[in-house]
Chain A
């Protein structure tokens, strides 16, 4: 169990109204665990004694100067270090009264941060990625500093990690939306870069904890997910200059309520607990001003505390105390985490309390697997080696093909691809197809004129592709209005996110019919739709009575009995609708919509995206669904054969979801009124039919029961046959 204790206010914050910044640049420990150095982003640096909540000293820089990095305390020399105006390093002691008179040195390059650990020399991290010890820098301040990062690469976050005698500087950079983690060991100055998985959204906070031979990097994303990535302390050798993929695992999914997180922060407290600030308390509404401790083993909330005022998404943890700036104060909240023995008792924890030495990073990322080439290992079975061999052979071809894709024309690529696909065997294909598709999509995105429709269709047809392998493919197809490819993807991919499904739906609904009719779609589904439409015509010619129990007299009778019902202004609506129903959309559009209906989805994820549809789109889609629904009932005994067709349940589910998502819109829109009324009476008639069927089922069941079963007799002679 973990507990948060009664906190105290360390100092007041000078924050302007509606300011999203707390005004605190950083909090660092000063030597022992009772003193902290608080750097104000305006101009001052203050030292506090935490137990007394009392300032012990304060220094201010001159007007016009700017503190650009939190002050740190060098416990070896009992000096403070701060950087002003990016380039000026100032060093002073407790008894210095003014910063101006303190030692200062101007360096040649911009400094990002100065980091310090107890009893260690402070380390300077430059904006361009260079790392230097402070004393060696100050010995020759104007020395040249090498540039490791490119001009556009910006450091977002950095920290110093100490474990035993080793120290590492970790910093995360952003470059064109891609985030990289750089780990620099201070012992041998080796540096390794990792590409963080799941780029796209920017993490709100990072934190690192060294644990059993590994560095655990925790990152909190705006969607409430806390991910953990593991980097071995012993940095891999021979990877200078390369960027390794860094897989991440979802550690915790914080309940968000509504909207995304804007300012929040997560800090690991021990191997099982994480402190989070700025995330709503699951049982206290949507307010985000809470400090919570979560157990990551069991995904349970262990302690929570409401913090008054705005939360700035800043959180520091030193020596059993959490420092949270909120509202107009900086609070210090002591906490305690106890390791529960529950896991041990339930057999979940194999070595309770024992120190386990983890092997270096487990690779648990599909991305990593597809990137990595096969590595030769000494203990391989013969069979394994054989498959590896064939994989290797195809891998060479894949490499060549990828090169070709980067430069070649569409025709060349098409030819090469055809020959490649005809040769390849299955085991290696999955990897190869994924890589090829990614390469094709990347090129197409970069080069608007390059769009190899045929090749992409070919790749999708191998059925080795899924959405997560190449997430941009479907987006690309939508962008290029390639409905045929969209159809294939919808058919083949098992893992299309609901957002994309909705985007497809929207695109299909908004494309005019005339444009779609020229597209060549899969013949089977087109034939199915044609068949379905033909049935109506034929049916209409043959007879007017329905065969599946949907009787027009029933509907009429019902309507007459409820004559006052406002929805039944047109008494023959249901029946007339079912007979003269024409397809509200073009043939090809209908085919595409059918594909949407058949994609797997989860309604809770789909609903928010469905709301994006405009009212005319909703009505059109609803009309089409109604058409299908009615058609299915008519056509029940003249089934059109098809491999893929939407089922009744799928149609009804979509109707429900659509009405759910756009209830108010449909109620308000006058053009939807007739549609809704028709749907209502049709459903009502169906309900009556099913009640009748239910009754029949009941009586048949009773009949079956009444029949004496002879199975419980004491003796029988039976003949059985064994095969």
Chain B
């Protein structure tokens, strides 16, 4: 089919941040994940695990706990503040200081009327949840020692609080402590070492279950204040507990990276006397499992090894399906690399700085499977530190490489770059139009004359760029008045069309010539993970998180025949079973039928002129084809040409000289940079 010259780039030192807290919203089936760097991510578990929204972190913000109340998301952290997030504008909605020192935990009562937060000074503070704010109501009796974990009784009348060396049960009405449950230290621990109750769970049958730093999961009777059962789970800490909704299953996350499941069972079938029995152990993490959530059919876990794991409970799945597969989210499902096609530049986005690299050059000719001698090595042109404490939200470099833009949650900065021989000068564009205060997504037009910035309420600002200054030309707004944030922006090569995709799975197409909304693509159930407009055919190619692909003709305002054929014949099972969403769509300039797609583990050249693979044919057939003679290849090849030579991939793009650039980030390198896991005795060590 063809040869490609590939720039294989491994100098993007992307480093994900550890997971600190997870909250699962059963109504909306969304998972909120807080990371150590203060960022919050919203995943949906409908149709594969997909990262829908990202709220960037801040230098001093550290989130200790997350809590959903309806569709509102609250967090607390060691800064002592309670933050509610605005999930439409992807920024904190308000911040309230609890005046109790660092806050370790937050939890809402099952009725959804009050929030309880546990503070360093030993107070449990109750806040009333109001329409658009929260209001401090009162403190429960203050005790010495920090409050590390809280759990409401399902009736909302009692609260169990995990503290140092003990658990207290409070009556919410009076505010007095009813019980004090003393937790033992680990055997052989020094006398002055306290036992930290990292997590408590209060069950409706007045049982309290605690996980502590001595590695034990303890089951207490909260009515009598007695210990019923003690499970020795690990030599290290039990950091997190999570209870299933029907209160028959409990999972505990440990420092060893294991997740241990307990089930409420009777030892004899059919008898009533049930007890908590340790049943299964899952090991999907290498480091501390700091956060857990139990869905009905799966366990979500995350920890310091930065990956989010959705581990299905196989007894709850009758058939093998996408829902019954183990899923891991290791890389963000959005692009952190932007590529200046003409100037052969790569812009890497780190949380608080940007790096601009110029790709190297090699000899023109090379034989397939071989490396080409590199004539000029790649060069880091620029390292730009973001101003302020806030982390970078999004960034872009223009195709000509002369403009560079990034945005945090509160500010947007545009730079003009000038290259003189080997010198590069950077000047900040000072006078930006007032509308450009911040952006959810940024993108330049192909001729680098315009900047598009996605802003609140799904609107897009169009700004023309001139060396003299920038001018706001138009703001595109969706007709339906959607309030969801835009996470994808793409402009056609000829500068006529703009397409946006937002978190409500809506794709809007605007005409840049008439400056009007052109049409809307029919809404598909699953989120858009990548899209692009074909340079010559003006078809919008859309990849969804559930691995479906569509091609929409902008001019005809309908799906193309090819897209209909795909839907009619169905995609190959191997394609649908892939784990990670398509992260980028580009086109091969040499052949208009070629669409280049990539996810974390492969990139694929989709040849629309070839037949689709049928159900029985071999999907990954590159090796087979290679071994066949020329004539036979024709009969065996199909539209999906998958290349797994490079992985894990952060970005695949096509440069103007028709060569590919792939950005790899080795998972081993990431693991190597993580702090050492707890030491475990292995055989013969």
Contact = CB atoms under 8 A, between A and B. Distances in A.
The answer to whether A and B come from one shared complex is: yes
Interface of A: 338-341, 344-347, 352-353, 710, 713-723
A714 B357 CA distance: 13
Contacts of A340: 267-269
Interface in B623-656: 625-626, 633, 637, 641, 643, 645
Contact of B270 (A339, A713, A717, A718): A339
B616 to A, nearest CB: 16
B267 A341 contact: yes
B677 interface: no
Q: Main SS of chain A's interface residues?
A: mixed
A718 B9 CA distance: 11
Contact of B268 (A341, A347, A723): A341
Most chain B Cβ neighbours within 10 Å, of A345, A352, A353: A345
Contacts of B270: 339, 352-353
B2 interface: yes
A532 B253 CA distance: 66
A339 B643 contact: no
Contact of B3 (A338, A344, A353, A721): A721
Contacts of B265: 341, 344-345
11 contacts: A347-B314, A353-B270, A714-B10, A717-B372, A717-B659, A718-B370, A719-B5, A719-B367, A720-B368, A721-B369, A722-B2
Nearest to B277: A345
A721 B637 CA distance: 14
B87 interface: no
B377 interface: yes
Contact of A722 (B315, B377, B641): B641
Contacts of A719: 3-6, 366-372
Interface in B417-476: none
Contacts of B3: 719-722
A717 B7 contact: yes
A715 B7 contact: yes
Contacts of A345: 263, 265, 277, 279
Which 5 A-B pairs give the minimum distances between C-beta atoms?
Answer: A347-B315, A721-B368, A723-B625, A339-B269, A717-B362
Contact of B643 (A346, A714, A716, A720): A720
A723 B366 contact: no
Interface string B603-615: 0010000000000
Given A345-B263, A345-B277, A723-B625, A718 B8 contact: yes
B372 A723 contact: no
A352 B269 contact: yes
Contacts of A713: 10
Contacts of B645: 720
A723 B2 CA distance: 7
A139 B8 CA distance: 101
A347 B316 CA distance: 8
Of A346, A721, A723, chain B has the most CB atoms within 10 Å of the CB of A723
A54 B560 CA distance: 92
Contacts of B268: 338-341
Nearest to B669: A712
Given A720-B3, A721-B2, A715 B8 contact: yes
Given A715-B360, A717-B360, A720-B6, 11 more contacts: A338-B268, A339-B269, A713-B10, A714-B10, A716-B371, A716-B374, A718-B371, A720-B643, A720-B645, A721-B4, A721-B368
Contacts of B637: 723
A722 B4 contact: yes
Interface string B246-284: 000000000000000001011111100000010100000
A338 B4 contact: no
Interface string B357-390: 0001010001111111010011000000000000
B622 interface: yes
A447 to B, nearest CB: 49
Contacts of B94: none
Given A720-B369, A721-B368, A722-B4, A715 B266 contact: no
B11 interface: yes
A346 B249 CA distance: 12
B189 interface: no
Contacts of A338: 268-269
A628 B148 CA distance: 76
B4 to A, nearest CB: 5
Nearest to A343: B269
B1 interface: yes
Contacts of B266: 341
A713 B373 CA distance: 13
A86 B661 CA distance: 96
B284 to A, nearest CB: 19
A674 B633 CA distance: 60
Interface in B298-344: 314-316
Contacts of A710: 371
A347 B265 CA distance: 13
Contacts of A715: 7-11, 360, 374, 377-378
Interface string B2-24: 11111111110000000000000
Nearest to B361: A717
A341 B633 CA distance: 57
A202 to B, nearest CB: 37
Contacts of A717: 5-8, 360, 362, 366, 371-372, 374, 659
A717 B645 CA distance: 13
B6 A718 contact: yes
A716 B662 CA distance: 10
Contacts of A341: 265-269
Contacts of A347: 314-316
A723 B367 contact: no
Contacts of A339: 268-270
A721 B627 CA distance: 13
A722 B626 CA distance: 8
Contacts of A714: 9-11, 378
Nearest to A339: B269
A473 to B, nearest CB: 36
Nearest to B630: A723
Contacts of B362: 717
> Which of A339, A717, A718 lies at the interface centre, i.e. has the most chain B CB atoms within 10 A of its CB?
A717
A722 B279 contact: no
A230 to B, nearest CB: 23
A163 B368 CA distance: 77
A338 B269 CA distance: 7
Given A352-B269, A715-B10, A723 B626 contact: yes
A717 B344 CA distance: 14
Contacts of B6: 717-720
B622 A722 contact: yes
A723 B633 contact: yes
A715 B646 CA distance: 13
A338 B271 CA distance: 10
A720 B605 CA distance: 12
Contact of A720 (B4, B10, B377): B4
Nearest to B642: A722
A339 B369 CA distance: 62
B374 A722 contact: no
A573 to B, nearest CB: 44
Contacts of B622: 722-723
Contacts of B372: 717-719
Contacts of A721: 1-4, 368-369, 626
Contacts of A720: 3-4, 6, 368-369, 643, 645
A563 B166 CA distance: 80
Contacts of B371: 710, 716-719
A344 B6 CA distance: 54
Nearest to B604: A722
A717 B361 CA distance: 8
A353 B268 CA distance: 11
Interface string B90-129: 0000000000000000000000000000000000000000
A243 B312 CA distance: 49
A710 B8 CA distance: 13
